[in-house]
Amino acid sequence: MAPQKPLDSFMNLFREHSPAEEFLRTAVTVIILGYVLLFGSVFEATYPTRLVELYAMPWWRLLVVLLVVIGAWWCPRVGLALAVAVYFYLNDMHILTSPFVNKESV
């Protein structure tokens, strides 16, 4: 049997996946979208305190974006769901952590 070329092993990433992996991909996508619906549909829903505290640290935001890239590399559906969740998280944190301005006094 001939040794496998590096390009052949790379192309194995794009071949058929097992039913268990497809189930896992679908389950992860549904969980992420459920999380988005949970925090997106109720205005009074509060983010966990740990996520609010970590937002202030730049390395955390880079790790969150890296999570989106890794999720998209594993499965485009997971990457898209993660991108939506991260977009809403970063946008909400930016709005919630900025001070309110009284427009009448300006």
Question: In this model, does residue 16 exceed pLDDT 70?
Answer: no
Question: Would residue 33 count as lying in a domain?
Answer: yes
How many other CB atoms are there within 10 angstroms of residue 74's CB atom? Answer: 16
Domain assignment of residue 88, given as a range: 20-97
101 or 55, greater pLDDT: 55
Residue 1 belongs to a domain: no
Q: What average pLDDT does the chain have?
A: 80
pLDDT the model gives residue 55: 86
- Alpha carbon 55 to its chain's center: 14
Q: How many domains does the chain have?
A: 1
pLDDT score, position 27: 93
pLDDT in tens, 36-64: 888 777 777 777 888 888 888 999 999 99
Q: Residue 4: inside a domain, yes or no? A: no
Domain assignment of residue 14, yes or no:
no
Q: How confident is the model at residue 14 (pLDDT cuts 50, 70, 90)?
A: low
Query: Is residue 43 a part of any domain in this protein?
Result: yes
In a domain, 2, yes or no: no
Q: Is the residue at 15 inside a domain?
A: no
